[in-house]
Structure 1
Amino acid sequence: MTSIPHSPTPGPALPDSFFDRDASQLARELLGKVIRRRLDGLWLSARIIETEAYYLDEKGSHASLGYTHKRRALFMDGGTVYMYYARGGDSLNFSAGGPGNAVLIKSAHPWVDAVSGPEALARMLALNPDAAGRPRPVARLCAGQTLLCRALGLKVPEWDARRFDPAELFVEDVGESPKRLLCTARLGIPDGRDEHLRYRYVDPAYAAYCTRNPLRRGQQVGRDYDWVDRDGMVLG
């Protein structure tokens, strides 16, 4: 009989009230928080380093296309999981306050602590090999919305339109809250769909490991990105 690995119990899940607020505020506050996913007795964990906010009344959002059964999670209370397929992979979102508003978890970084140790990281690496079947570099393991879901074993049919479950999937505050954030335009928004809106937020300490580094060569503060505080105020 195969024994189930034991790991310490994680801290408490963030309450529903944390998610039931403005999408941009939620997108900023989620940076530094840790997604906990229990799989086969292990707590797989990833620190959120990049988010995007979406609103019902702007053209870049799924909700702007109207209510459907598939998009129902976007119209549920804050803290409902909304998953969809993006470029052939799964994508993780959390509903925010107000119908149709949500935050996309764009990328993360593997989180190792007393709860999620080397065995958990090894499982994440096994779940998400590169195209040749080799282990990915740890820093790039969750560097994109579909890579994150693969590394955590999250699938659309299992999790779409569900609430968080403290026994299986939730978000924890581990005391990591960056004070300065990078704010820039979202990625992959087609022309004419409010592609200019700066609703993408990045933890600067992990900027090199997000989907696209706002601080890469050629980018200019003010023109391509802004420094903002946790309230969204532009810093001088």
Structure 2
Amino acid sequence: MPDTCTSPPSPTPLPERFFQRDARELAVALLGKVIRRRLDGQWLAARIIETEAYLLEERGSHASLGFTQARRALFMPPGTIYMYYARGGDSMNCSAQGEGCGVLLKSGYPVVDAVSPNSSLARMQQLNPQRNGESRKPERLCAGQTLLCRSLDIRVPDWNAQGFNADTLLIEDDGYHPEQVIQAARLGIPSGRDEHLPYRWVDAAYAAHCTRNPLGRSRKPGHDYHLLEHGTALRSAVSGALPCSQA
């Protein structure tokens, strides 16, 4: 007889070396990876579908304002969690190669699988209901940096300047990789703070479910965004420029 009491498989965290790369390349590499948070014995999970990169030397980054205890995670080894409050909610980042550089986990999409079954999705909906108390639709649960953290119960006091760990909070590769990646300017950067830099990346398959759809009706390809093959996006990310055939 089959064993009906078999425990679900344990997720495997990304190795430390994964994070030891330029923030722009890391932002692309993180697309499609799954962030898992263990809460009361359940693994809550979301696929990362949107990221933004921040470099020490550009004016849109927190680190450009200087070192503080609150921002210390950005100056710690790659893969350190950097948390801060955005519009009253928790926001999650991780440090990259080079002091002061990091990647914002901008939005995600709930994952239901052998590790994180339907009961985990239900728990995420309990953690992040709509303002009227009703359940959010799965596709809107993690559609923004604060919604992502709320759905996974990831909070600034608990996780800032901490490392990922195999027991409670990790990012893993479940074998999925985006076919196409959208590259565009970051969202919410004040005027005069390098708001033009194309350091936002979105998994094209999930564009409708990220913070703001970069493929919206008013958006023009080649002007407001560029659609790249995943490998091309990885290769061109570090330069911050787009390949000539796509520009």
Band of TM-score, shorter chain = over 0.9
Large movers: runs of 4+ above 4 Å: none
Task: Trace 1:18-167 onto structure 2 (pairs within 5 A).
Answer: 18-167=18-167
Aligned residues: 232
Structure 1: segments with no counterpart, 5+ residues: 1-5
Partners of 1:153 and 1:89 in 2: how far apart? Answer: 11
Letter of the aligned partner of 2:42 in structure 1? L
Q: TM-score, normalised by structure 2?
A: 0.91
1:8 aligns with 2:8: yes
Partners of 1:231 and 1:36 in 2: how far apart? Answer: 27
Q: Please report how far the alpha carbon of residue 10 of structure 1 lies from its aligned counterpart in structure 2 after TM superposition.
A: 2.8
| CA contact 1:7–1:116 (8 Å) conserved in 2 | no
User: Aligned match of 1:231 in 232, 235, 241?
Assistant: 235
Q: Please report how far the alpha carbon of residue 7 of structure 1 lies from its aligned counterpart in structure 2 after TM superposition.
A: 5.3
Q: TM-score, normalised by structure 1?
A: 0.95
Partners of 1:194 and 1:9 in 2: how far apart? Answer: 44
Letter of the aligned partner of 1:171 in structure 2? I
Q: Please report how far the alpha carbon of residue 179 of structure 1 lies from its aligned counterpart in structure 2 after TM superposition.
A: 3.0
Supply the RMSD in Å over aligned alpha carbons.
1.4
Partners of 1:135 and 1:179 in 2: how far apart? Answer: 31
Structure 2: segments with no counterpart, 5+ residues: 1-5, 237-241
| CA contact 1:7–1:42 (8 Å) conserved in 2 | no
C-alpha change, 1:138 and 1:7, in structure 2 (3 Å) is farther
| CA contact 1:13–1:172 (8 Å) conserved in 2 | yes
SS of the residue aligned with 2:154? coil
> Which residue is 1:185 aligned to?
185
Identity of aligned residues (%): 60
| CA contact 1:51–1:201 (8 Å) conserved in 2 | yes
Letter of the aligned partner of 1:17 in structure 2? R
Partners of 1:12 and 1:22 in 2: how far apart? Answer: 23
> Which residue is 1:205 aligned to?
205
| CA contact 2:83–2:92 (8 Å) conserved in 1 | yes
| CA contact 2:13–2:170 (8 Å) conserved in 1 | yes
